[in-house]
Amino acid sequence: MIVNIIDVGTVNQESTKKGKSYQSIEVTYKNDQGQVSSKKLVSFANPAIFTAAKGWQKGDQIDVRTEKDENGYWQWTGINVAGEQAPITSAPKETRVTGSNYETKEERAQRQVYIIRQSSIASAISLASVGHKSTLNVHDVLSIADELVNYVMNGSSGVAGLTSDTIN
């Protein structure tokens, strides 16, 4: 929406109920339908627009981008002074995912290796604990798990060499 600046008030120092201070400025403008309105801009809501507004003069034409916030109020989310190439914007509120959050091929492959390792350790513990009431040796369990991982990943390994001595 293109607005014609009628007046820019002075910068006011205000404070919240909790005592935090901020600045505000009242901008009076005529919108593209010829209606006169005003907008109170505050320093914390959109610092880039607030800073730009302090330099506006009567007669300036500003291209304002607006969005309704979660409370149903129209907020100025970006501006572009007529004739300028680069708009002044604040950081957008994250409302949707941009880009890809999917795992890459390499990340999926690594995740599969983790799953196989975890499963092999659980199987090695079960295998090593069959018929034994004593505590298990971690080194032996991990050795068995490594053999199971190699078998799953490569289709063959020293699993044929897995004997009761390895398990015991």
165 falls in which pLDDT band (50, 70, 90)?
Answer: very low
Q: Which amino acid is at 93?
A: K
Residue 86 has pLDDT above 50, yes or no: no
Residue 121 has pLDDT above 80, yes or no: yes
Q: Which of 10, 7, 54 minimizes the C-alpha distance to 30?
A: 7
Average pLDDT over residues 114-122: 88
User: Looking at per-residue confidence, does 79 or 163 come out higher?
Assistant: 79
**Residue 53 contacts residue 8 (beta carbons within 8 Å):** yes
168 falls in which pLDDT band (50, 70, 90)?
Answer: very low
Cα–Cα dist 77/89, whole Å: 7
Cα–Cα dist 103/109, whole Å: 9
Contacts from 46-52 at CB under 8 Å and sequence distance 24+?
Answer: 46/75, 46/76, 46/77, 46/90, 47/90, 48/88, 48/89, 48/90, 49/76, 49/78, 49/79, 49/88, 49/90, 50/23, 50/25, 52/79, 52/81, 52/88
Cα–Cα dist 74/67, whole Å: 5
The DSSP secondary-structure symbol of 136 reads P
- Rg over alpha carbons for the chain, rounded to the nearest Å, is 33
**Helix (H, G, I), strand (E, B), or coil: what is residue 91?**
coil
Could you tell me the domains of the chain?
Answer: 2-86 (2.40.50), 105-167 (no CATH)
85 falls in which pLDDT band (50, 70, 90)?
Answer: very low
| pTM for the whole structure | 0.45
